[in-house]
Amino acid sequence: MATSPDIEPAPPPTVRDPLRDIPRYLRTFREYMGARIGWVFFFQLLSALLEGIGIVMMLPLLHALGATGDSPGRFTLAIHGFVSGLGFEGPVAILLLIAGLFVIKGLVAFTAGAYLGYLRADLQKTLHERLYDSYSRMDYRYYTERDTGHFFALFGQVYSFIGAVHSFSAFAVAVIRTVVYVGMAIVVAWTFGLAAIVVGSLVFLAFRRINNRVRELSRENAGYAGRVAALFVQTIQSFKYLSATATAEPVRKAMHDSVVKVGRIGARQNLWMAFTSAAQEPIAILMITGIVIVQIGVFEQPLAPIMVSILLFYRGVNTVLGLQGSWQSTLAMIGAVDVVKAELDHLKGHMEPSGGQPIAPMERGIEFREVCYAYEDRIGDVLTGVSFHVPARQMVAIVGASGAGKSTLVDLLTLLLTPRQGEVLIDGVPGTAIERASWRRQIGYVMQEAVIFDDSFAQNICLWGGDPDADPALMARIREAARQAHLAEFIESLPDGYATRVGDRGIKLSGGQRQRLFIARELYKQPRLLILDEATSSLDSEAERVIRESIDELHGKLTVVIIAHRLATVRNADRILVFDKGRLVEEGDYASLRGNPDSRFSAMVAAQAL
C-alpha cells in the first residue's frame, strides 16, 4: 500500500472566488452540526444589538450633561425622550442603563461562546466517529488503493476542520456586528454611515485577491501535510529495516522535501495574515480621520452624533477589517474542510454491503463455483474458472508459486472481495447473500505478519473481552487457547504470567512466540474456519515444527485452510489444491500428488528437497 517517495500530492482544485463558496461551507457545517449553529448567530446578533444600543445611549447621556450644544439633532432629542419615558432621568440613571445593557450583552456573548465551544467539541466527536466508522466498514479494494498515511492524515485533518469552523463562526459574527454597528451609525449620522460603507467596501474588495491566494495555499498545504503524515507513518513502521540497512536517507530526503514545502506554504499564509492584522488599525484611523474631517468641515454636522458615530464606526471598521483576518484564518484551514468532506462523501460509495442474511455456524463446508476475479479489467483475471469444495472439519492446503492467486482466494473466502464471475458459497448460501459479519465471526485468520497489540498476553488473546483477573471462566478459555497454541508453558514461566506486556507489535517476543500468540487468539475465538496464510514462512525450523504440531492437533476439530510455500506444513492435509497463474491445475492428497513424478506438486516438493 505504500507509495513511492517521489510521488507528489495531487494539485489543488481550481479556486473560485472564496466569497461565492460561503453558502457551500454553510451547508457543509449545517450537514455535520445541524441547525444548532443558527443559535450561535442569533445570540451574537442579540449581543451586537445590545452593545450598539448601549453606545447609542451616549446621545441622551451627552444631552443630559449639556454636551450636545444649543441645537441637538432630532435623533438625539428623540432618543432622550424615549429614555426619559422609560424613567431614566439624569446622567446617573442613563449611565446605569448603559452599564446594564453591557452586562446583559456580556451574558449573551458568553452564552454564544460557550454554546459554540460545545458545538465544536461535539463536531470533533462526530467527525472522528464518522471517519472511524466509515473506515471500519469500507470495502477492501478502497483500503488497498491507499497507503496508511492517507488514513492517518485524514484523522489529523479533523482538527483543522474544527479550526475552520471556529474561524468561520468568527467571520459570520463579524459580519453580524458590522451590519449592526454601521446600521446604527447611519441612523445616528447618515452621511457619516454611508461614507463608512463606501470606504469599508473598497477596503474589503482590495483584500479579495489576498483571500484567493490564502485559500490556494491552504489546499496546497493540506496535500503536502498528508504526504508528510504518510511518510512519517511508513518510516516508523519500517524503522527496524531502515536502521539496520542504513537506508533511511532517501526516505528522510523525501520527508525533508515535503516538510520544506509545508513550511514555505505556511510562511506565505502567515505573511498575508500578518499583513492584514498589521494594516487593520492604521487603515481604521485613516478612514475615520478622513470622514470626520469631511463631516465637520464640509457638511457641518453636530459634534455629538459624530462622536457616537465615530465610536460605532470605529467598532464597525475594526470588525470589517477583522472580517479579513477571520476570513483568511478560515481560508487557511478550509482545505481541511474540503478534504474531510470529500473523503466522507467518497467513502459513501465504497462501503461494504451491510445487508444479507446472517448465516448459522458452518456445518457442511465452502464451495467455489467457476470463480473469476480481476483487480483491473485491463490487466485481466488473476483467478480464472476456479471450482473446488472444502468440506467442514477437513484440512485443505492451497499451494502454488508467487502470483498463483492464493492470497486472492483467501480474500474471496473471507468475502473481502466479490467474484467478477461465479460464486463463493458457505453451506450452500451465496456469499453475496450473506451478512458479512456473521460469517467473519466464524473465521480465525493467521497471517505471515503477526497482529499483536501493546498489551498483556491475556488481553492479546481475548482482545479485551473482559477482565481475566476477575473472571475465572474467561481466564480458563485464555489458558486453553494458549495451551492449544503451545504457548502456555512459556507464558506461565514468566514472573507476571499472562499479565506480561508484549510490547508494540510484540517486539519483546521472538518470531515464533508472536506467531503462536496470534494463533492462540484465533483459537480463543473457537472458529469454524481457521485460515493459515503463510503462517510459518518467516520462522525457523524449530518454531515451524511447534506451530505445525499445533495445527495438526486441530485436524478433524474444525475446518482448516492452509496457504503455504513450505510444503512440509501440508503433509497431513486431507486435500491439496495446486494453483498456477490463477488456475487450479491439480488436486489430491499429499501422497498421491507426491507419488506422481509428472505432477507440478511433485516438482515443487523436489525443489524444497522434502
pLDDT in tens, 525-579: 888 998 888 776 656 666 667 777 777 777 888 899 988 877 777 888 899 999 9
- Grid cell listed for 169: 463562526
Do 435 and 457 fall within a single domain?
A: no
Spatial distance between the Cα atoms of 557 and 550, rounded to a whole number of angstroms: 12
The number of folded domains in the chain is 3
Regarding predicted confidence, which is higher, 304 or 166? 166
Residue 589 exposed, middle or buried by CB count within 10 Å (0-12, 13-18, 19+): middle
* Residue 112 confidence class, pLDDT cut points 50, 70, 90: confident
9: DSSP letter? P
Predicted pLDDT of residue 427 = 92
Last residue of a domain, one of 315, 348, 381: 348
Q: How many CB atoms lie within 10 A of CB 1?
A: 13
CA quadruple 103, 106, 108, 114: dihedral, nearest 10: -140
d(CA 133, CA 137): 6
pLDDT recorded at residue 275? 73
Q: Which of 93-102, 128-137, 456-465 has the highest mean pLDDT?
A: 456-465
Same domain, 117 and 208: yes
Secondary structure (H, E, C), 452-479: CCCCEHHHHHHCCCCCCCCCHHHHHHHH
In a domain, 16, yes or no: no
pLDDT of residue 41: 80
Q: What share of the chain is helix, strand, coil (3-state, %, to 5)?
A: 65, 10, 25
Same domain for 359 and 291? no
Per-residue pLDDT tens over the stretch 493-534: 999 999 999 888 788 888 888 888 988 888 888 889 988 887
Question: Residue 334: which CATH number?
Answer: 1.20.1560.10
pLDDT digits (tens, 9 = 90+) for 346-387: 888 787 776 678 999 999 999 999 999 988 877 788 899 999
**% of the chain with per-residue pLDDT over 90:** 11
Same domain flag for 27 and 46: yes
Inform me whether the pLDDT recorded for 307 exceeds 90. no
Q: Residue 81 domain-assigned?
A: yes
Q: Do 143 and 161 share a domain, yes or no?
A: yes
Residue 514 domain-assigned? yes
Nearest to 600 by CA among 580, 570, 571, 573: 580
Which of 348, 378, 410 is the C-terminal boundary of a domain?
Answer: 348
Are 168 and 87 within one domain?
yes
Cell of 504: 508494540
Biggest CA–CA distance in the chain, Å, is 122
Domain with 465 in it: 453-526
Is 183 within a domain? Answer: yes
Question: What does the pLDDT look like over 318-353, one tens digit per residue?
Answer: 666 666 667 767 777 777 788 888 888 888 878 777
Q: How many CB atoms lie within 10 A of CB 601?
A: 25
445 has pLDDT over 50 = yes
Domain check: are 195 and 223 in the same one? yes
pLDDT of 3 reads: 39
Residues 487 and 499 grouped into a single domain: yes
| Residue ending a domain, choose from 500, 526, 552 | 526
Within a domain: 311: yes
Quick check: is 9 in a domain?
A: no
Q: Are 419 and 506 in contact (CB under 8 A)?
A: no
Pair 244, 322 in one domain? yes
Same domain, 329 and 215: yes
287 and 236 together in one domain = yes
Higher pLDDT, 601 or 60: 601
**pTM as predicted:** 0.62
Pairing between strand 443-446 and 529-533?
A: parallel
pLDDT of 11 strictly over 50: no
Q: Do 156 and 95 belong together in one domain?
A: yes
Alpha carbon separation from 351 to 138, 304, 414, 420, 430 (Å, rounded): 4, 66, 16, 18, 19
Assign residue 491 the CATH number of its domain. 3.40.50.300
